[in-house]
Every structure is written in C-alpha cells, then in structure tokens.
A and B are shown apart, each in its own frame.
Chain A
Amino acid sequence: SQQGEEDPQALSIQEGENATMNCSYKTSINNLQWYRQNSGRGLVHLILIRSNEREKHSGRLRVTLDTSKKSSSLLITASRAADTASYFCATVDSGTYKYIFGTGTRLKVLA
C-alpha cells in the first residue's frame, strides 16, 4: 500500500497544551497537505507545504517537511477544545497527481 503512516493514532491533551502529529509517506511528492476532519464531516484544508519548503506557519499551525526522510509534522500550539478532530496528511503523487492520505491522528483536546 502507498498509504502514509501517521502517529500517534490517537492523542489526548489538555486545553492550552501543544499537539504534535507526524506523517511519513512513501512516494515522490510535489507537495504535502494537512487536513482536519470533524466527526462525520468533510475535510477542511489546513496548510500546504511544497516539496522545496522545509517549514511553514499559519496561525497556531506549524508544519515541517523533511523530504530526505519522507516525513512531515504538524504542530498545533495552545490547543483549544474546538481543535478536537481527526487530522490527515495527504501527499500528491508527482506522476499521477493522485492524493494519498495518511492513516490519520485522532486528537482530543480536553477543556
């Protein structure tokens, strides 16, 4: 399977703490994207990092990309209860343009 792996599978933290989730992928990529999905809902695009970038910030989100290790991390700082959701990384295969999603991290932020 080409599916990427994410860890941890589940993460439970207190409000105000930081949450870090990691993604590893297998193919050559043009970019890597992170999405959030609330239970039973569609995907919300969070951030895109291109293959020639190493780090990117957006509000409380910080994403890193290490193409030599084929890995990425998503850091959510000062978490809020509203951040409770599943988070998926997705890579775009540079040959087929198909999206390949990671296995996801279920984040629970306790108020």
Chain B
Amino acid sequence: GAVVSQHPSWVICKSGTSVKIECRSLDFQATTMFWYRQFPKQSLMLMATSNEGSKATYEQGVEKDKFLINHASLTLSTLTVTSAHPEDSSFYICSAPTIYSYNEQFFGPGTRLTVL
C-alpha cells in the first residue's frame, strides 16, 4: 500500500524558535496533502490543506502566518511552526490521497512537538 512518512518523529525546541516538519509520499504522487493537529487525549483536527504549486488553505481559527505550509513537489509538503510557544506542543499528522482517489487517504506516523 501507499506509504507516507514524516520527519522528524519527535522534536523538542525552545520557545521562539521555528520548527519544520516534513511529510513525504514515498511511492506515489500527492498533489494535495492534509495537516492535522492532535492534543493529548483529543481527536485529530484538520489544520490546513496543502496544494502542490499553490497556496495552502487553512481551516477557520488556524493562523496561516504561524503555520507555514509549502508543497514544493508532488511528494513533499512541509509545515513550519514559526515562533513556537508551549501551547503549540502537540502531535502533528499529515495525510495524502493518491491521485486515483481522494476518498482514501494515507496517514503519516505523526510528529510529536514539544516546546519548552
């Protein structure tokens, strides 16, 4: 089956720094990728839709200047958390549908971000 990877799997950073998280589709091309955030003991909430070659679209309440998304190629989307604060500490997960079906998406293993 299709595989989506994320890097890093976990990261610890200081307040005020920026952190970049990568999401890669390893064996298929993805013109669209989705980014989710999950706080402890809560569900996944969609943050934004990453579109290859164009601007990302953000869900209501998500600051686009804080969560920068770049979808530079058909296999890579990056999420940069800028000027991170402790409240940004969360589990970030990406997903990607194949070009054949948007109804079935493949999820990355997630990135645990801890901001001190």
Residues of B within 8 A of A3 (CB): 43, 45
Whether B110 and A99, one on each chain, are in contact in the complex, defined by CB atoms closer than 8 angstroms, is no
Partner of B105 from the list A41, A99, A103 (CB cut-off 8 Å) is A99
Let me know if A13 is at the binding interface, CB within 8 A: no
Partner of A42 from the list B32, B45, B46, B93 (CB cut-off 8 Å) is B93
Partner of B46 from the list A48, A100, A103, A104 (CB cut-off 8 Å) is A100
Main secondary structure of the interface of B (DSSP, over half): strand
Interface bracket on B? 20 to 34
The distance in angstroms between the C-alpha atoms of A41 and B41, with both chains bound, is 12
Partner of B108 from the list A31, A35, A42, A88 (CB cut-off 8 Å) is A42
Residues of A within 8 A of B91 (CB): 40
Question: Taking CB as reference atom, which chain A residue is nearest B107?
Answer: A43
Whether B43 and A30, one on each chain, are in contact in the complex, defined by CB atoms closer than 8 angstroms, is no
Interface bracket on A? 20 to 34
The distance in angstroms between the C-alpha atoms of A106 and B109, with both chains bound, is 19
Whether B109 and A99, one on each chain, are in contact in the complex, defined by CB atoms closer than 8 angstroms, is no
The distance in angstroms between the C-alpha atoms of A43 and B43, with both chains bound, is 11
For window 46-79 of chain A, which residues contact chain B by CB distance below 8 Å? 48
A88-B43, A92-B102, A101-B43 as given contacts; A40 in contact with B112, CB under 8 Å? yes
Let me know if B44 is at the binding interface, CB within 8 A: yes
Question: Taking CB as reference atom, which chain B residue is nearest A50?
Answer: B103
What 1/0 flags go to A18-33 for Cβ under 8 Å of B? 0000000000001101
Let me know if B49 is at the binding interface, CB within 8 A: yes
Q: Which of B32, B42, B102 has the most CB of A within 10 A?
A: B102
Binding site for A on B (CB under 8 A): 32, 34, 36, 41-46, 49, 91, 93, 95, 97, 102-105, 107-110, 112
Binding site for B on A (CB under 8 A): 3, 30-31, 33, 35, 40-43, 45, 48, 88, 92, 97-104, 106
